[in-house]
């Protein structure tokens, strides 16, 4: 069931989104060669708790950390670890969220560790731009398929592929709500977009093929062909006046 949010609920979600966005910003600023993914996760945890919120990912379905931190060919759900040290030239995808007074924010971005290759830089730029293509298509009266179609067209025109096995989703009092928000599809198809809907739009883009697999830890998803992957995400509210990004630092 799709839950349309009231003005009060949207206000709480905006605060949850602000906390999530600021935590993501702080983690991104700390990404550099030599730091561990465990240390990055602690930055997220400490900031979220300092704001009177709770990390939305910690213990969610058993996930053991506050942030998913995925490196290079890891697409999503990388588990922070003291032994996992960021290297120069890595690309580091960070996905995290905060729960404020019962409502969730959810956002992600991929950061460069030191100097990265031109190919990796182009992947990051394309993925982030595709997110905004999707957001721009998230308009009252439109369809979920409009969002996925916009993302897919942009990504594939750049020569990349969008992950099919994992998609965006509704967000609210639950981290994952209806509807699903794929990063591919046909414009004019799917659930109609209505004011009060709050959704996470999150392109996951691979430099190679779209196929992925889950590692033996049961969480970390990697590209099947070993190619680099990038991930960007915002929580967005559908309003009469157009899409509004709730995860702003």
Strand, helix or coil for residue 189: coil
Q: Residues in the chain with pLDDT < 70?
A: none
80, 81, 213 from 86: Cα distances, Å: 11, 11, 22
Q: Residue with structure tokens 């999707």?
A: 134
35, 140, 235 from 20: Cα distances, Å: 21, 25, 10
Residue 87 lies in a domain: yes
Report the chain's C-alpha Rg in angstroms: 17
Residue 54 lies in a domain: yes
Mean pLDDT of the chain: 98
Residue 212 lies in a domain: yes
First CA to last CA across the chain, in angstroms?
30
pLDDT the model gives residue 239: 98
pLDDT the model gives residue 222: 98
CATH code, 60: 3.90.230.10
* CA dist., res. 227 & res. 204, Å (int): 13
Q: How many domains does the chain have?
A: 1
pLDDT the model gives residue 25: 98
Q: What is the pLDDT of residues 156-193, one digit of tens each?
A: 999 999 999 999 999 999 999 999 999 999 999 999 99
Torsion of CA 210, 214, 215, 216, to 10 degrees: -160
| Domain around 176 | 7-245
pLDDT the model gives residue 69: 98
Residue 52 lies in a domain: yes
Residue 2 lies in a domain: no
pLDDT the model gives residue 32: 98
Burial class, 20, CB count within 10 angstroms (exposed 0-12 / middle 13-18 / buried 19+): buried
pLDDT the model gives residue 146: 98
Burial class, 47, CB count within 10 angstroms (exposed 0-12 / middle 13-18 / buried 19+): buried
pLDDT the model gives residue 186: 98
């Amino acid at each position: 069931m799709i839950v349309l949010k009231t003005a009060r609920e949207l206000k709480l979600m905006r605060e949850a989104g602000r906390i999530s966005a600021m935590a993501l910003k702080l983690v991104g600023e700390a990404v550099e060669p030599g730091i561990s993914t465990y240390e990055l996760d602690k930055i997220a945890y400490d900031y979220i708790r300092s704001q009177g919120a709770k990390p939305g990912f910690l213990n969610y379905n058993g996930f053991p950390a506050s942030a998913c931190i995925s490196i290079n060919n890891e697409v999503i759900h990388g588990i922070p670890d003291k032994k996992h040290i960021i290297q120069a030239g890595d690309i580091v995808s960070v996905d995290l969220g905060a729960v404020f007074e019962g409502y969730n924010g959810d956002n992600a971005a991929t950061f460069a560790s030191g100097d990265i290759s031109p190919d990796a830089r182009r992947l990051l730029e394309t993925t982030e731009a595709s997110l905004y293509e999707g957001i721009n298509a998230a308009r009252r009266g439109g369809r979920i398929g409009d969002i996925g179609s916009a993302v897919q067209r942009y990504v594939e025109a750049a020569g990349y592929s969008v992950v099919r096995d994992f998609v965006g989703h509704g967000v609210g009092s639950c981290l994952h709500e209806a509807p699903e928000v794929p990063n591919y599809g046909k414009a004019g198809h799917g659930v109609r977009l209505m004011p009060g809907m709050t959704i996470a739009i999150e392109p996951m883009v691979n430099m190679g093929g779209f196929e992925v697999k889950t590692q033996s830890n049961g969480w970390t998803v990697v590209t099947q062909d070993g190619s680099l992957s990038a991930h960007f995400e915002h929580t967005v509210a559908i309003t009469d006046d157009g899409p509004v990004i709730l995860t702003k630092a």
